[in-house]
Chain A
């Protein structure tokens, strides 16, 4: 206990951290008398998680709401100072290359809406969990996630003034084929019960996987000259440390409360590790293909943040009887393939994506070969060289056939069989006389465990074929009806501008011209 002097100069005792935390998180709730407790907390028991003593819940950071506001306000001041300075100084012209901006387009359309859903999810779970310590922590996280959504939108709105593809991110999130991957991930979590949500987002996503999203990519943003993204990313990740801690506390608490909770929790870990890992396919591609100056490969990031750190985590949780998630080994094996398979898919479907793609340069392919000595030259380089040649001949390869999507992760069937990178992996399940397709053993297991949930999936390709993805002015009976063009219009793209190759794009020509202006008073050429 420390002694401080107050304004009158008399010494008074200051409470220690543990005492302050106890005072600010205990005794704040009560047993209801007008209504039965099970009506006040209607979702607390149906998942089968048994809790005997909520007071055993403790936030290891021992952060209280007053300290929370203080430090969050400081973080915001730092963040906005950097973002303002970046905008005031035309910071975008310090970027390594305008190709970088495409990673931000993917981030804003794919990740930022998830921050907002996380805000809603933690507000909901914070309301539904009967323990007050857990409720305080969820309240903080809910506010954090709202802050993340807002700061990301602010930071990236600077780019929207100058570059293509940022204008309709919210509209796109509910419609576009690959955005259904992150969207359905969070919709899946938020429609689960409160304990499953804590394992899905608090533990599996925050603890096991977000480092891969925020740390190497944001360090990469800094490396490529984007102070705005660096500021929001690290500011967000500073909250993530608290979120990871909450996730770890949630799992320890459930496992310590009752031995019957173990199999339920283990199944959720299996399920949500795989769901989250599939979403990170996009991040693998951002690291390896979309950062002009690369900071670390997906494989290296996976080794540090998943294999080393996740390995330590699961070794630690073994004392409760928890084993590493099903699919862990396959995810580790796939680290040599993931980004290459993903980027090749976006390249082929350029016309359907509102960001630009390109064939990696010879120099970039040398980097890939160095980082992926066992796979890149053997499996992936020949395809890119073929496509580069086709481009040079004026015959860029565009795939006009809509892909089959996985019923669970909603990613096109692009992943290969374990142990055989030359064969696409397909799995099938029968349910009520219908056949459902999944991309992997991981997704098939998830489907087979909860068929009624996943048969309701809104799969973009199915929806297109059912005619649900055209605007009101589309006329399928007209002789020149072009269904794919109508879908792209319905997505809200600026057709022919957003969804074209990087080479020759407005982004590329504008960036080049603006860069020239930075060292000259002459009007921009071209």
Chain B
């Protein structure tokens, strides 16, 4: 089984994003590293705009993630409401 991951700079916005990922992906494993946070999920990961908005208490455009993103892996499928990472194999 392959793992997809995403990593963000540690800050107030990414805290909400990571909480949202944990909520929407029960198998997520969060690792805090110096100045960064990395989230691994087996097979695929879903990041939902609505959950992030709930956590941050404000409107959120998923493309705002670009500002806090460090790295990721897997195939991306992005719409206005969801950002998905997956391996096909």
Contacts and interface: CB of A to CB of B under 8 A. Distances in A.
Given A237-B71, A238-B69, A315-B89, A71 B63 contact: yes
A219 B34 contact: yes
A457 B10 CA distance: 43
Interface string A123-166: 00000000000000000000000000000000000000000000
Interface stretch (A242-250, A359-367, A423-431, A502-510): A242-250
A-side interface size class: 35 or more
B73 A60 contact: no
A219 B36 CA distance: 7
Contacts of A17: 63, 78-80
Given A18-B79, A62-B78, A315-B2, 8 more contacts: A17-B78, A63-B66, A75-B67, A219-B34, A241-B69, A315-B87, A316-B2, A316-B89
A196 interface: no
A222 B70 contact: no
Nearest to B61: A67
A128 B33 CA distance: 41
Interface of A: 2, 16-18, 60-63, 67, 71, 74-75, 78, 211, 214-215, 218-220, 222-223, 230, 234, 237-238, 240-242, 244-245, 248, 295, 308-309, 311-313, 315-316, 318-319
Contacts of A237: 70-71
Contacts of B79: 16-18
Interface string B45-75: 0000000000000000001101111111111
A241 B2 contact: no
Contacts of A234: 9, 35-36, 70
B7 interface: yes
B66 A242 contact: yes
Given A71-B64, A312-B2, A214 B76 contact: no
Contacts of B75: 60, 248, 316
Nearest to A62: B78
A315 B88 CA distance: 9
Nearest to A20: B80
B66 A238 contact: yes
B3 interface: yes
Given A241-B71, A315-B89, A220 B66 contact: no
A-B pairs, top 4 by smallest CB distance, nearest first, are: A312-B2, A222-B35, A60-B76, A223-B34
B23 to A, nearest CB: 22
A74 B67 contact: yes
Contact of B3 (A63, A215, A312): A312
Interface of B: 2-5, 7, 9, 33-36, 63-64, 66-80, 87-89
Contacts of B66: 63, 71, 75, 238, 241-242
A144 B72 CA distance: 17
Contacts of B77: 60
A238 B68 contact: yes
A399 B79 CA distance: 58
Given A16-B79, A60-B76, A312-B2, A238 B33 contact: no
Given A61-B78, A238-B67, A315-B87, A295 B34 contact: yes
B83 to A, nearest CB: 9
B80 A2 contact: yes
Contacts of B3: 308-309, 312
Contacts of A71: 63-64, 66-67
Contact of A63 (B2, B7, B63, B89): B63
Contacts of B63: 17, 61, 63, 67, 71
A340 to B, nearest CB: 24
Contacts of A60: 75-78
Contacts of B78: 17, 60-62
B81 to A, nearest CB: 9
A315 B75 CA distance: 13
A60 B83 CA distance: 10
A316 B2 CA distance: 9
A361 to B, nearest CB: 21
B67 A309 contact: no
Contact of B35 (A2, A74, A230): A230
25 contacts: A17-B78, A18-B79, A60-B77, A61-B76, A61-B78, A63-B66, A74-B67, A75-B66, A78-B67, A215-B36, A215-B70, A219-B36, A220-B34, A223-B34, A237-B71, A238-B9, A238-B67, A238-B70, A241-B69, A242-B66, A244-B73, A295-B33, A313-B73, A315-B87, A316-B89
